[in-house]
Structures are given as structure tokens and as C-alpha cells.
Structure 1
Amino acid sequence: ARQIRLVNRLRASWLAGKTRPIEYRISQLEALGRFLDEKKQSILDVLAADLSKGEFSDILLVRNEVNYAINNLSAWMKDEHVEKNLVVQLDSAFVRKDPYGVALIIGPWNYPIHLLLVPMIGAIAAGNCVIIKPSEISKYSEALIAEMLPNYLDKDCFAVVTAGVEETTKLLENKFDYIFFTGNPRVGKIIMKAAATHLTPVTLELGGKNPCYVADQCDLQNAANRIVWGRFFNAGQSCIAPDYVLCTLETQEKLLPEIFGPILPIVTVANLEEAIDFINARERPLSLYAFSCDNKVIHQLLDRTSSGGFCGNDTLMHVALVSLPFGGIGNSGMGKYHGKFSFDTFSHHRASLLRNAGLEAINRVRYPPYSDQKMALQHTPTHRLPDCIG
């Protein structure tokens, strides 16, 4: 009952239009930025308590997203005017970026602040009301978010719910207008099934085994440095970390002295062709990495495989760019976010046509009785029609 009241309260605020003005959205984004600034040490402390690490980069990446959204929101929100055919040449046709309504964001335990707040930034920027549910596994981070964040944000539009598995299952029975989940494929299927009850759209940020191909012609020392860094980043608890290396036997023998053996499984393949077949025979990964001095090899892997993201001659770094989308495909998830992609994810792209109330002479060709002249005019191409109509 408490959850139902909470969802209804937020929906009432959304229906009243409270979150729609740009001034309101920016004020809430600025408030989220103040939370990051003023509670910086507390955030680092809870990350250390939960994960034995308190890296300032966690805060910095979220702060960068806040700043990027504030600086670009005016441009993002503008109606996107589209090409018109002769029939509507005097009318206005555009895409309106509408908020969905009440969004639910469920965060993971391994990045309990970063992967909870970055999607929230997109949801706020897009004009939604938001309920966030931190992971109960990272209990210190969960407590900080639940106790401190509501002091900064408008309680009529934003809320934090703390819940275990049973309570989260009940929470998912409510009708949300968008659900964003970060976790594993098994739970992702449960989330998607619950969302299907209300035909609620979802973004699922899942995981999988991320391959890393190392070519024979490659700077092995640089490759080793970058792969080991990616493997151990965030104490190895990263959904985009390289999970195994694909290389020839010759390259494997050179890699072992670089201490690959103890930290990453190495799968030997005869050549690039076999490596591509090996990758394509498995579920599509969240990230795919390739190391080679030959750009043709990098591009072959990019062109002939499928993954959520791709990075050549490095690991993880593609995720640091707010100008690139982050998301999975197939078993590694669906949907994308970061930067403007977050705004677009939490926005309904509403087709809008505003016609002139007069000029009825233009429309008479549509109305019966249909003379030969009218029929001829109706069959005169005014613009290429979509295949589903033409």
C-alpha cells in the first residue's frame, strides 16, 4: 500500500506538469550536483566500506554527466523539425521530446552510486518523476542514498526505495512508465516479464563474457598493460572488463611472461577467422576488445562481430565518452544511455503535425465524391511514402 501511494503521488506531480519546465529540470540537476559535491567524502567512505575502494573517478564521472546535461538540455529539449511533403508544406511537422512519466531505476551493487545516478540524470533531464532503488547488497551506499539524497531533491517528484528481493518484486507490480535496470541477464528477464504486464518499456543493462582478441602483430607490452588495467579496474567487478583473451599459440607464449596466465583465461585460436567464429558462436557480449598494429584486423573484428560496445587497442575507455552510447545487445541487454542518449532513452519521441485550420481547398481532393481528376491528383507522388504505406 505504501508503494502504491508513493507511485500515485509521483504520478500526480507528473500529470500536474511540475517536472516539464526546463527551469525545474535544471534546478533538480543542480541539486544532484550539490549532493555529489557536499557529500563527496561520505560517498567515498561508503564505497570503501562496501567495496574496499573509494575512487574519486566514481564521483567525477557522475558529476561530468550532470554538467553535460545542464549545459546541453536546452538544445536537447527543442522540437526537432522534420522534412515535409507538398501536402503539408505550409504546416508544422516536428518531433516533440516528451517525458514518459514515472520511471523506476534499479541499480547494481558493483557501482552502487555511479550506475544508479547516471541514468537518473537522464530521467530528470527528460522531465520524468523518478523512483530509484539502490542495491541492498551495497548496504552502506544504499543507506547514504536513502538518507541523504532526498534532502536535495523535490520529494513530490523523486524518491528512494530500499528493498530486498521480496519487496522489489512487489514494487514491480506497480505500473511504471519506464523501467531501467542494471544487473544480470537472469534478473533482467524477471524485470522484463514484470514490465510486460503493463507494456512498460525497459532498458536492461546486463553483462556477459567480454572477449579480447590479441593479434600476432601487436605491441604486446602495451596490450598487456591495458588489458590488465581493464581486468582489475574496480577490483575486477566491472561488467565491461575483459573476461578472456583470444590469440594464437605463438602469441600466448609471449603473453604468459606478461602475467596474463594467472588473471585471464587464454583461448588459443589458429587465426583471426577462427577467433571471429568463436566470438560469434556465443552470446553477444557487452564489450569486445581487439589489439593489433594492423587497422585492417581491428576493422575486420568490428565489421564481422556484434557487441554492445567495441574498443580497439584499449579496454574500458569507450565508456568514458559521454558522446558515445553505452548499452548491450541480445543477452548483454537492450537500450542505451550516457550523455544525450540518456535523455533520449527517457523521452518519448512524439510525432507532431500542426495543420493550418484554413486553406481547405487543398484538402478537397481527399473528400468524396471522387472524380477522375481527384483520383489522378491523389495518385500523384508528393514525396516518397514509407514502404508500409505505399
Structure 2
Amino acid sequence: MSIFPTGAASDEPERLPAAGVETGGPLTVEKHIEEVAAHLRGGADSRLAHTRRFRASQLKALERMIDSHRQDFLDALATDLGKSALEAGLTELDLFRGEIDYAQLYLSEWMEAKHVRVPLALQPAVAKVEPQPLGLVLIIGPWNYPVLLLLAPLVAAIASGNCAVLKPSELAPACSGLVARLLPLFLDQRAYAVVEGGMEASKALLEQRWDHIFYTGGERGGRAVAEAAARQLTPTTLELGGKSPAVVIDGSHASVARRIAYGKFMNAGQTCTAPDYLLAVGSSGEAVLKHLSKAITSFYGKDAAKSRDYGRIVDQNHFDRLVSYLDEGTVAHGGGFDPATRFIEPTILVDVAPESLVMREEIFGPILPVIQVNSFDEAVRFINARPTPLAAYLFSENPRLQSAFEDQVRAGGIGHNICNAHAAVPGLPFGGVGASGMGSYHGRHGFERLSQMRPVLSKTAVIDTLQAVYPPYNWAKTKIIGRLM
């Protein structure tokens, strides 16, 4: 479980020795994590990561890591999730690289203090807001995008001048092991570390003192993180999930079905922003079902099990859960599965009851229920009667309906005529609301999320301009104060 490998490239920053190496004996998980946290707390307290030069150097090192080990990351993603090289590169490595590039481009601007106007009553004075690092951040990553969703928050942590401990998901062991091996070779070990392990490690990490906890995962895990953080009043960012709906007004366009199928079935449906169910308005249902079936076949062939571009379910528990959903409706496309390879065919379900289990739980797999509704208003009521989703999608060219959808539907993000893509725009905040999470990141939003936006007011004491507000008070002072304020 060591996080401090021996030796590093000669052009990398000087390393501090591993915490606990002098003990000579094996450490318990709890003791090891306690020493790791203490080691990095020392880095945070020394203000090591505060300077722009340090932040820029660590972002550059991340860039070198992802560029020089791209094939290693592709191989690990294929091992853990069966991702094709093109899909893994596009949806994980390239998006991560984009986050690094964006942070490098705007880092100096983000770090600048912003001056604000001072009320007349306090003049002469200067006021500003200056971003300050929080200190030590814990980042807990998920298994479905085990590279992007672990390392993109690290970009925000580095840019904002924080030290960080990363906890990869044990359900993606190849990616977890690769990050644990590579990160200490590129980043300064006084400021950044990786801790591998399962539930025991997660519990031990949550018992430590952090200045912020960044968690991406399911609602159950989010509740556990929030409860642990509350005991120490630690702020959190919770990137959860939920049942993200797609509403189709006109299903006659084949492009609509292609975009829904692509957004749903990439990574075998294991995407937090993927459309979880589809609401077909009016007569659009028959056309969209026909086009969806054609789109799936065009993407993955008649036998998706033979497609190089279609992934697999991460583990047996998730596989068994997903297979149980297949009996909760009529299979309109797909429905096949293979326990030996954890393969589930891209599947469309119809005749699904709104109160069924598949409509109450987040699916997080390659099963798409399609439900017929009579009107746009009925679709909106259907969505709002359920917990707030991470995203909501409307497929319509009607500007009035798009505006109404934005106004009436509460969701972490909105997409018109496209799924998932808002998460790929560095300038847009990404995050949930209500049951789908709290807080957002990407670009400047991540920088500010992991910073204290500290107010500073400076006023000279050479000339005391505050005498009008000092006691004792009389009628004249009261009138002057009223005018000033």
C-alpha cells in the first residue's frame, strides 16, 4: 500500500522520504493513512503549493505524465472496463488533457486579486477579493471514468494551490495501480499522494482532518462522505448521479436517435450524465424506437459482443443488478447478456411501469426505458416528481420549448439536442443539485471551489475618517451617519 516509490526522474522535484519508513515494520491501514495525511499536512502548512511557479510546474508535470504514458492508460482502461482505445482517449484522456491546458492558459488570471468598490462611508479605502488555497484536499474517485474523474479534480486542486491525497476506486484496479505508480514519479511527493484500497481505506481516510473533500460516486457513498465531513465541519463537493431524463418531441430525425444512443451506450451505459430514461412525447415514440434500434446496430453491429467499441460491466454485482432490470418491461431491442464476460447488450425497454424498480433506481448500465407521455407539460411533471437529476436533455428545435424546459426543469445541467457534452466544456460548471450532488467544478469553477475567496479591506489610520460613527451619539452625528450610509 506504499505511496512513495523509490527513485524518480532526475528532472523532477526533490522528494521527501516516505512517512513511516523508519518504523521498519508493516503498518496498519489506519496508521499508514494517518502518516500520509500528516506528511502532506506538513506540505500544506509550509505553503509549498502556494506559488504560481509551483502550480504551473505541477500542471506541466501532469501534462508530461498523460502524454508519455498514454498507451499505459489506454491499456488500463481496456482491462478494467473493456473500453476501446478511441472511446477511452476521447472521453477520458483528451478531456483530462483539455482541463490541464485550460488551467495552464488561465492560471495567472485566476490567481489575481479582484478589486471591488468601497462605500462612501468607508472611503478612502481599498477592497479586494483574493483567492487563497484551502490547504489539504481529499479526492475520492469513481470506477466508471477512473482516470478523468480522479485526475480532473486534481487539476483544480493544483491550480488553486492545494495539496491533495487521491483515493482511486478499487473496482478499477488496473487504473488505480497505474495512477499510484505514476503520480509520485511526476508530482512533488511533499504535496500529492495516492492511497489505494477498499472500504477500509476509505473509512480511515474520512477519519482524518481535511480542508475539503471531493467525492465522485453514488448517492449512498455521498451520504457517508457528507456524514463524516460534518463531524469535522469539512466542506465537500459531491458529484453524484441520478436518473437523467431525455425528452423527445420529434423522433423522426435519425440524428436524434444517434445522439441518444451514443450518449447512453458509451462505456456500456456506465456514465453519470447518460440519459437514464427517455420520455417520448405524443406520436414520437414509434419513430424514435425505430431509429434507436438502427443507430445501435450501426454503432455496434448485429452482435455487440463482437464489437471492439462496446465495453463491459465493471463487476459481477453491477452485472447481476442490471440483468434483474430486464424483466421489468418488454424488450424492444437487445436484451442479451453473458455472465462469463459481464456483457449486456444495448437494450431498449418499453411497457415499463413508472413505479418499477428500473424507474426508481439509477440504472447506470446499457438499458434504456422508453415511456410514452402525451405532452411536453406531462414530461416536465414526470421529471419534477422525481429526485433532481444530474442532467436533463430536450430534443426539440423549438426555442419556446427549450426556454420552458430550462425554466421549469431542475437539474444539474441542461442539454438541448445533445447528451453529456456540457461536461466537456471547460468553461461551464459541472455538478449536481439536490439529490444529484452539491458544488461544481471544471475550469475557473473548480479553482474557486477549492479556494477561499477571501475579502481584504485596507484603510489608512493616519487620518481618522470614522469619527462620525464613534460614540457618544447625538442628533448631528445620527444625521451624518444616515447620509453616509
> TM-score normalised to the size of structure 1?
0.95
* Distance in 2 of aligned mates of 1:72 and 1:183: 28
1:354 has 2:458 as partner: yes
Q: Are the aligned partners of 1:182 and 1:204 in contact in 2 as well (CA < 8 Å)? A: yes
Residue in 1 aligned with 2:284?
251
Q: Are the aligned partners of 1:219 and 1:292 in contact in 2 as well (CA < 8 Å)? A: no
* Distance in 1 of aligned mates of 2:101 and 2:282: 47
Residue in 1 aligned with 2:442?
338
Residue in 2 aligned with 1:230?
263
What's the CA shift for 1:219? 4.7
* Distance in 2 of aligned mates of 1:380 and 1:37: 62
1:241 has 2:274 as partner: yes
* Distance in 1 of aligned mates of 2:289 and 2:162: 51
Aligned length: 380
Alignment of 1:146-161 (within 5 A): 146-161=180-195
What's the CA shift for 1:88? 2.6
1:7 has 2:44 as partner: no
What's the CA shift for 1:249? 4.7
Residue in 2 aligned with 1:314?
418
Moved over 4 A (4+): none
What's the CA shift for 1:63? 0.9
Q: Which of 21, 24, 36 is equivalent to 2:66?
A: 36
One-letter amino acid of the structure 2 residue matched with residue 253 of structure 1: E
Residue in 1 aligned with 2:469?
366
Residue in 1 aligned with 2:107?
73
* Distance in 2 of aligned mates of 1:248 and 1:22: 52
User: What CA deviation, in whole Å up to 9, does each residue of 1:324-373 have, x standing for no partner?
Assistant: 1110011110100111111011111111111112111x111122222322
Residue in 1 aligned with 2:17?
none
What's the CA shift for 1:89? 2.9
What's the CA shift for 1:381? 4.3
Residue in 2 aligned with 1:379?
482
* Distance in 2 of aligned mates of 1:293 and 1:128: 44
One-letter amino acid of the structure 1 residue matched with residue 55 of structure 2: R
Q: Which of 137, 160, 164 is equivalent to 2:171?
A: 137
One-letter amino acid of the structure 2 residue matched with residue 254 of structure 1: A
Residue in 1 aligned with 2:221?
187
* Distance in 1 of aligned mates of 2:119 and 2:188: 44
One-letter amino acid of the structure 2 residue matched with residue 169 of structure 1: K
Q: Are the aligned partners of 1:105 and 1:181 in contact in 2 as well (CA < 8 Å)? A: yes
What's the CA shift for 1:90? 2.0
Residue in 1 aligned with 2:329?
none
Residue in 2 aligned with 1:386?
none
Q: Are the aligned partners of 2:132 and 2:160 in contact in 1 as well (CA < 8 Å)? A: yes
1:213 has 2:243 as partner: no
User: What CA deviation, in whole Å up to 9, does each residue of 1:9-49 have, x standing for no partner?
Assistant: 21222121111110010001111111101111101110111
Larger mean CA deviation between 38-47 and 228-237 belongs to 228-237
* Distance in 2 of aligned mates of 1:118 and 1:356: 43
* Distance in 2 of aligned mates of 1:147 and 1:128: 21
What's the CA shift for 1:317? 1.3
Residue in 2 aligned with 1:388?
none
Larger mean CA deviation between 8-17 and 175-184 belongs to 8-17
User: What CA deviation, in whole Å up to 9, does each residue of 1:105-127 have, x standing for no partner?
Assistant: 00000100000000000001000
What's the CA shift for 1:162? 0.6
Larger mean CA deviation between 11-20 and 336-345 belongs to 11-20
One-letter amino acid of the structure 1 residue matched with residue 476 of structure 2: Q
Alignment of 1:23-172 (within 5 A): 23-53=53-83, 54=85, 55-57=88-90, 58-172=92-206
One-letter amino acid of the structure 2 residue matched with residue 230 of structure 1: G
What's the CA shift for 1:297? 1.3
Q: Are the aligned partners of 2:213 and 2:234 in contact in 1 as well (CA < 8 Å)? A: yes
One-letter amino acid of the structure 1 residue matched with residue 38 of structure 2: N
* Distance in 2 of aligned mates of 1:256 and 1:371: 79
User: What CA deviation, in whole Å up to 9, does each residue of 1:191-236 have, x standing for no partner?
Assistant: 00000011000000000111000014x5531111110010112221
Residue in 2 aligned with 1:283?
387
Q: Are the aligned partners of 1:327 and 1:333 in contact in 2 as well (CA < 8 Å)? A: yes
Q: Please give the secondary structure, in 1, of the residue aligned with 2:483.
A: coil
* Distance in 1 of aligned mates of 2:52 and 2:481: 43
User: What CA deviation, in whole Å up to 9, does each residue of 1:261-311 have, x standing for no partner?
Assistant: 433211111111111110100001001000112121121111111000000
Give the root-mean-square deviation of aligned CA atoms.
1.2
> TM-score normalised to the size of structure 2?
0.77
* Distance in 2 of aligned mates of 1:167 and 1:319: 29
Residue in 1 aligned with 2:24?
none
1:19 has 2:49 as partner: yes
Q: Are the aligned partners of 1:219 and 1:293 in contact in 2 as well (CA < 8 Å)? A: no
One-letter amino acid of the structure 2 residue matched with residue 339 of structure 1: G
Larger mean CA deviation between 15-24 and 174-183 belongs to 15-24
* Distance in 2 of aligned mates of 1:147 and 1:17: 25
Larger mean CA deviation between 82-91 and 227-236 belongs to 82-91
* Distance in 2 of aligned mates of 1:111 and 1:330: 22
Q: Are the aligned partners of 1:13 and 1:156 in contact in 2 as well (CA < 8 Å)? A: yes
* Distance in 1 of aligned mates of 2:222 and 2:32: 25
* Distance in 2 of aligned mates of 1:105 and 1:32: 16
Q: Please give the secondary structure, in 2, of the residue aligned with 1:97.
A: strand
Residue in 2 aligned with 1:202?
236
